[in-house]
Structures are given as structure tokens and as C-alpha cells.
Amino acid sequence: MLAIKELYKEQLENWPLVTTNYAQLQSAIYREFVFEGFTVKAQFNPERIRSANAKVDAQSVQQRACFLCPANLPEVQKKIAYPPHYNILVNPYPIFPEHLTIADQRHLRQSIEGRAEDMLRLAQDLQAHILLYNAPESGASAPDHFHFQAVNKGCMPIEQDITEAGNKLLLKEGKEGNIYCLKNYLRTAFLLESANITWLQENFKQILYTMNDLHSGQTEPKCNLMLWFENGTGHWVIFPREKHRPTAFYETGDAQLLVSPGIVDMAGLLVIAREEDFEKLNADLIRDIYAQVSISEEEAQKIKDKLKCTQEKRAVLL
């Protein structure tokens, strides 16, 4: 989509906040932690403190002006309308060299219900990008206003991890596509792979349906999603979530670790806003963060068992 290149160019030239933050990102510092079969990276990114610290409880959200509503966007922020009801915006606080927010034009709450088709269509139209979604209480900093994100490929460890056959456990094999879960990955991740759009859509809904079945809350199950196409094959990853933030987030002093995992963190790139947290991060802390924010092994097994016995059942919920 040529228009997106022009959008970046325009915003980099005319919006000083964007100019500064994208330039700073080029000198971002990274650390890498090697586990068996995969790696986890950490990015030190002080500008992401807003997101790490975002108050996402209902009262705080109600009291602030919505920063994704078209009426509240700064005048300098440009948008591309994407039918039928989205705006594509440059994210002024990037994690990646290309980082878009794709917000609904209407003030509607964050929920994936009824949006799977849109996510597929966006991922097909933005083939150079990866589509991302954070459910409420799972990293979304605007749970009151529906939005996806889209970022350039090649920056998140999971993209490489899923190319290693040894990292994947096959749960369902089919003519049109396969469902896997990732093995010994410290956090639960389900992966759908297929070149067939209908198969992807139906099986994605089936997994969400299964998660919802096991979830007793009023809202959708906590989760993070990512979807991208490579050589015609769609890769759709689902991270079912337990907690939004690990207990260390709420500690004080040295014991505090300001990390608020969303989809990028679950995909293997921990975004750390404070230098002291970036420096003290180690493999054990990473294991602990993932263990706390991901669903338990027991819950994951329930989903796997249900998936196996409901293979023929069509998703009717979404």
C-alpha cells in the first residue's frame, strides 16, 4: 500500500514528536536471552513509559479523553481511511521502525468479537506488516476504543521460532492447514498455519470459542493475537492470558519491575521503559513474568483437550 509509505513520510516530516521518537528508536539498546530452542529479546524504550504505566481500570479510562477518537487526535496527526470503518494512523510512540495504529472510526470498546474477518483482510492488504491485537486487561492501553496495531516484519523472535519444527507440537493436522502449540516456550501459544482464508477464520473462531467456553467472565477471554502472511501462508498466533501484569509490577523500590506485557512482549520482545529494569532483567525473571501472565499448564491442557474433541463443532459464538 503506497499510501502508507506516504503517510510515514508526511508524519516524519511534519510531526516533531514522530520525527524525534522514530529517530531515537534507531539507537535503541537491546539485550538477548537464549533459551533452549528460542530467544527472548529486551528493548530499552523510555518513551513507552506511558503504555507500561497506563491506568486501564474502568474509572481511569472514563475520566480521560480518548486518544483514539478522531475528534481528539492532534491536528498534525494524519490518517488514512480503511473501509468500512477504520483509520490507519502512525503510532507516535513506536516500538518498531514502522508502527501503525489501526483504530475504529467509532468509539467502540476493544473486543475481537466480529473482527476476525477485518483482521484477516488487513493482514492480507498490509503484507509487509504483522497485525497485532491486545484484548482488554491483556496490554491494550485503550480498552475503550477498538484498535489493532500493524508493525514491520523481522523484529519479533517468534517469527523465527515458528520456523523451527522442533518448537512446534502438532495438535490438529488437516488438508487445508495445521494447528500447533509451541513447545517449552515458557508461555502458552497456539499457532494456526494455512493459505486458506476460510480455514483460518473458522479455526481461529474455534479456538476463541473453546477459550470462551472455559472462561466464566463477562468479557472476552484475555489474549494477545498476531497475524501475518508470508508467501501466501497465514500465520495466526494466539496467546491466552491469565494476568495483565506480574506481581513485581506492583512492588515498590528494588523489587519493582515495571513491565506490562502485551502482544509484542508475548512475541518475545520485552519492551522495558526504565533503565534499572532493563539492567536487572535475567532469564529467571523472564521465566517468572511469562509464567504469571500466561495461562497455567493445566488451563492450556484443557484447551488442547477440548480442541481435539470439538474439531468437528463449528464456531457459532463469533
Q: Name the residues that contact Zn ion, by CB under 5 A.
A: 66, 68-69, 107, 145
The least distance separating Zn ion from the CB of residue 186, rounded to whole angstroms, comes to 35
The least distance separating Zn ion from the CB of residue 86, rounded to whole angstroms, comes to 13
- Distance CA(4)–CA(295), nearest Å, equals 36
Do the Cβ atoms of 269 and 43 come closer than 8 Å?
A: yes
H or E segment and range at residue 300: helix 297-309
Q: Dihedral through CA 115, CA 197, CA 242, CA 36, nearest 10?
A: -150
Do the Cβ atoms of 33 and 39 come closer than 8 Å?
A: yes
The least distance separating Zn ion from the CB of residue 66, rounded to whole angstroms, comes to 3
Whether the upstream peptide bond of residue 46 has omega within 30° of 0, thus cis, is no
Q: Which is nearer to Zn ion, 105 or 124 (CB)?
A: 105
Q: Which is nearer to Zn ion, 99 or 145 (CB)?
A: 145
- Distance CA(241)–CA(226), nearest Å, equals 14
Q: Which is nearer to Zn ion, 100 or 120 (CB)?
A: 100
Measuring CA to CA, which residue among 193, 208, 220 is closest to residue 313?
A: 208
The least distance separating Zn ion from the CB of residue 153, rounded to whole angstroms, comes to 29
The residue number with the shortest CB distance to Zn ion is 66
Q: Which is nearer to Zn ion, 84 or 232 (CB)?
A: 84
Q: Which is nearer to Zn ion, 104 or 118 (CB)?
A: 104
> Residue 270: beta bridge partners?
42
The least distance separating Zn ion from the CB of residue 79, rounded to whole angstroms, comes to 13
